[in-house]
Amino acid sequence: MKLDQAKEEFIQTWGSLGSSWGINRTMSQIHALLLVSNKPLSTEDIMEELQISRGNANMNIRALIDWGLVRKQLVPGERKEFFQAGKDIWEMARKIAEERRKRELEPVIQTLSELKQVDENTEEADHFKTVVTDLEDFTQRIQSTLDRFIRSDRNWFYKSLMALIKK
């Protein structure tokens, strides 16, 4: 298989994986492109390679920088900005987990804890409280695990995961 073709396919695959995980397609594609490129790329390069508009490119590059997955790289003698993706996959996973925890899990836990404050004592209300408490429990456990993962270095997570897998 030819390199260019493989790159192309990789970008598509990563793009569609991203979109099923709540990260928009272009954002993942840009990320993929920067991952496989061994030198930093400019906005122009990205527009060119992915055939997307300037606005789209700009927006999604910003988002990747926000998420901490990509950083600006100044190239001497060039006025344009260049971008480069961090190559450490675990670091990348940590950052994605962090963003999503913040954006999605946190508000849900907040809400669930409020919902337990139902001041009724019918059988129905009891049932409701049980369900909500179970979910809160579950969500909090996920949250703690992510927290630890986020704060950890790669090594910690690697070890824990191996422990999980091996026995």
| Residues in contact with a second copy by the rule CB under 8 A | 1-3, 6-7, 9-10, 13, 17, 20-22, 35-36, 38, 87, 89-90, 93, 100, 103-104, 108, 111-112, 114-115, 117-120, 122-125, 127-128, 131-132, 134-135, 137-138, 141, 144-145, 148, 160-161, 163-165
**Measured from the CB atom, is 81 or 104 closer to DNA?**
81
Q: How far apart are CA 45 and CA 41, in angstroms?
A: 6
Query: Which of a second copy, DNA, none does residue 80 bind (CB under 5 to 8 Å by kind)?
Result: DNA
Q: Which of residues 75-94 bind DNA (CB under 7 A)?
A: 78-81
- The residue whose two tokens read 């809160």 is 136
Q: How far apart are CA 67 and CA 102, in angstroms?
A: 11
Q: How far apart are CA 163 and CA 156, in angstroms?
A: 11
Residues 6+ apart with CB under 8 A from 93: none
Query: Which of a second copy, DNA, none does residue 59 bind (CB under 5 to 8 Å by kind)?
Result: DNA
Please provide the DSSP assignment of 15-48 as one string.
HHHHHHTTS-HHHHHHHHHHHH-SS-EEHHHHHH
Q: Does 96 bind DNA (CB under 7 A)?
A: no
Binding residues (CB under 7 A) for DNA: these are 19, 24-26, 42-44, 51-56, 58-62, 78-81
